[in-house]
Amino acid sequence: MAKEKVKLWDRLKYKYKLSVINETSYEEVFNFRLSLLHVFMALSMLAVILVVLTILLIAFTDLREFIPGYPDGAMRQMIAQNAIRADSLETELIKRDRFLNSIQMVLSGGDTTLLERSKEDTTKYGYDTIQFQISEQENAFRAAIEERERFNLAVGIKEQNHDYYHFFPPVEGVITQSFDEKRRHYGTDIVAKANAKVASVLDGVVIFTDWTVKTGYVIQVQHANDLVSIYKHNSILLKKQGDYVRAGEVLGVVGNTGEESSGPHLHFELWRAGNPLNPENFIKFK
């Protein structure tokens, strides 16, 4: 038996000569030697190469869609969409269950503060480690930002409709002189009671507070949409430059200061984008 195996192995290693001869001249064109073992090895390598190339073509080209049972592009997209929908549906079911538990707790008269979150949510989001404390560094940082943004006219001013404003009357009284652009009287004079309070007509930021010879104590407020309101002849001013004020908040007290004042009254002006407006078109003073 061993001799037969040896003879078989020798036969596989035995080399044969393959010659190519010219039919006309019987001249040998070329020849090469090979054995059965070489043939088997060459065929095996060729088979491996073909298998690898076939796998690569199927894995990285669209040919895989022609294989029976393999999902096509539309089916894979549908599978992904269904997975997303299932995940969303699971989330909605969890929310619904929590809502129903809350409703049951309320209807039963229980304390809603005792509703506990699941351990999974507590671990995932770290609810049990949240601390609502402000450090000294954060307090110092906030104070520095507030001081730096004190004169920023955009801070605290909300965007309003450009075509409609709800003005708060600066003071209640009797109009003694109306707006007259031809006579360069760009405001309205209102006589009010003694020590009447002067209020801001809109939300805004104080941009000017000072004493002038002609108009006495003056305060100006910048509002949204390029609106500026001016209050003159005050006896005292209660706000300083950079303060943010709300509509109706007191700015000062009616007075009789300045050379152009002939008695206790308020001279009120309203400007928009550098153009004077007639305050009586927007505000009812009486």
- Domain annotation for the chain: domains and CATH numbers: 2-59 (no CATH), 174-281 (2.70.70.10)
What is the 3-class SS of 147-173, one letter each residue? HHCCCCCCCCCCCCCCCCCCCCCCCCC
pLDDT of residue 207: 93
User: What is the tens place of the pLDDT at every residue in 196-226?
Assistant: 999 999 999 999 999 998 889 999 999 988 8
Output the pLDDT for position 162: 45
DSSP state, 65? G
Angle between helices 2-13 and 36-60 (to 10 degrees): 70
What confidence score (pLDDT) does residue 155 get? Answer: 46
Q: Does residue 148 have a pLDDT over 50? A: yes
Distance of CA 12 to the CA centre of its chain: 77
Residues 281, 229, 227, 222, Cα dihedral to 10°: -160
In this predicted structure, what is the pLDDT of residue 57? 79
For residue 119, name the pLDDT band (cuts at 50, 70, 90): very low
Give pLDDT tens digits for 20-72. 888 888 788 878 777 778 788 888 999 999 999 888 877 777 766 666 666 66
| Cβ–Cβ under 8 Å, residues 214 and 260 | yes
- Over residues 168-187, the pLDDT tens digits come to 899 988 999 999 988 889 99
